A and B are shown apart, each in its own frame.
Chain A
């Protein structure tokens, strides 16, 4: 089985360093289109900007499997100008405002450098320092005369790094999934028809996945995403019971999140393949969060769906950390599980 090596790492790096705030995914879309050109049987960009690609199966009666990976990332939009290159901005996607202060950013198509500054500590009072700095007190400063315009998007200016066993970057959520899906198309299992959806606006309410699922009308769907690993020590020394996932334990299989109950047939299949192929995996703690599967499984008359994510720490911040091995295992597990899919998988009732 092909696995992820240096070529794929380079691609991941390129994708992580690209900008694709929800609704403005052009940069990543261009890279994706370029990568899968000549590899797929059919490809188009739809009304919302999703890249929808088809890789046909060997036989006519094979299951049509949708794989989705969202191209977009959380970020900012400039909404008002104070003058002198200082802009008011809004957050796009779920972010913690406490993560913004003092960060360098890139603005607009030219990746213009800018910063999110803060009042000097000297000018603040002890009372003030106990409070979160609200969004409306923050600005993006790109310097006087720089050419940005309202509506431009911005992201944290973090360059991809490969540190020992770990990957450090912005937007690992979900360039990990995007890269996995590109590789999956390049090495597509032939026992299924692979319907690849590189989706838009996942972070803005699963909007791309909704229309992609309707267009593909697949037999089943796998959302490939990235999920937080909150595997840090608890402050009081007590057991951490809310880790979501743990780095190093392999891909996270979803049973339930706030938007989807995974199809139990697919959960069983993936767990069985993990055991048979000795590829490690972990169950993501059921609870909050969601992936494209939340929109896909409600498509048309219902689509059996599952999410598989690469765990990563510090999601939706300037610098996330994932383990290279977790990513590799994710690719291997999904590839192995897809390769073993037969129409029998959905023969029984959910």
Chain B
């Protein structure tokens, strides 16, 4: 089995903003190809991998969905060689000043990656009244260091900009990088597929890397509709306890993935996965979502006639900043937990997915 870390680092180094997931999709495609029986792209670009089960057809199927898109920025205009940008997905403008970014310029004869920094213009150049408060995104500029003329030639409105921070390993088997939301879940799903190579499973397994989760669950709605699985598990990152995040919405990092419960979750599916974790002594945390889980599961649950859904969370610190942190162990545990759950799915498991036992 190839190593996880180099693959994860590849994922973290690849662009793949919402709507522009091709670069990261190709990396995932290459890794998944030997792990699945069929691999295809949906109409909007989500990656669908099928591992056939051994039960006689028609078999029930389970979809494991992880979004592969990343938040980032998009060029809205060029002024005197500087770029104005807007956000793709939820970006806090306060983390932007001084960040190193990469501009994927498409205006030249061929696409080009330009290194750049995000400039916070001096107060004198900003509208009066901003004081020393945070500078809103519309006033920030991206500086490529290139002459104005060159920038106008190379960069077009609509070009995408991503964080340029490279993955770093911290002490205690913690990895740092941008886009660990949600490439760490893609890695977990990959581990699950690898585990399943040596396991027998009755059910069909749809491994899905969705697009445009950050901008409106687009892949979540459409893949669930197209594949119409019997069950859906969504793996996404969740808030880890850490500086600035310590209340009930957070879970400890490195203590296992979280199992989510609430109206978005089918309680029988939740129980089923919890039992597997308990039996195998895979550590996990519990997470409570009273309303919306904010994940692709919110879409999958209400597609067509409805799909029993579940959310696994990988605790992550500093979400949506360029320095997200995840414990490698949590990724491995999430992958293994899914594989064990899938391997244990009997052909008639759907009879157990009932309400009001």
Contacts and interface: CB of A to CB of B under 8 A. Distances in A.
Nearest to A81: B248
Nearest to A153: B290
Interface in A74-89: 77-80, 88
B355 A151 contact: no
B291 A214 contact: no
Interface of A: 22-24, 26, 29-30, 45-50, 77-80, 88, 90-92, 150-151, 200-201, 204-205, 207, 210-211, 214-215
7 contacts: A22-B263, A30-B356, A45-B355, A46-B305, A47-B306, A211-B302, A214-B305
Nearest to B269: A47
Contacts of B248: 79-80, 88
B301 interface: yes
Instruction: Give the bracket for the number of chain B residues in contact with chain A.
Output: 20 to 34
Interface of B: 247-248, 261-264, 266, 286, 288, 290-292, 301-308, 353-356
Given A24-B263, A77-B262, A92-B290, A45 B354 contact: yes
Nearest to B286: A150
A48 B302 CA distance: 8
A204 B291 contact: yes
Contact of B356 (A29, A92, A150, A151): A29
Contacts of B303: 211
Nearest to B304: A214
A150 B301 contact: no
A341 to B, nearest CB: 25
A138 to B, nearest CB: 13
Given A92-B291, A204-B263, A204-B291, A29 B302 contact: no
A29 B355 CA distance: 9
B263 A92 contact: yes
A77 B265 CA distance: 14
Contacts of B288: 77-79, 90, 150-151
Contact of B306 (A26, A46, A92, A204): A46
A201 B263 contact: yes
Contacts of A91: 290
Contacts of A50: 306
Nearest to B248: A80
Contact of A215 (B266, B305, B307, B354): B305
A328 B293 CA distance: 39
Contact of B307 (A30, A47, A90, A205): A47
Contacts of B307: 47
B241 to A, nearest CB: 12
A26 B356 contact: yes
Contacts of B291: 22, 90, 92, 204-205
Nearest to A47: B306
B6 to A, nearest CB: 39
A23 B262 contact: yes
B261 to A, nearest CB: 5
A151 B305 CA distance: 26
A21 B79 CA distance: 53
A86 to B, nearest CB: 13
Given A30-B356, A48-B306, A49-B355, A207 B290 contact: no
A207 B263 contact: yes
Contacts of B308: 47
B266 A151 contact: no
Nearest to A76: B290
A76 to B, nearest CB: 8
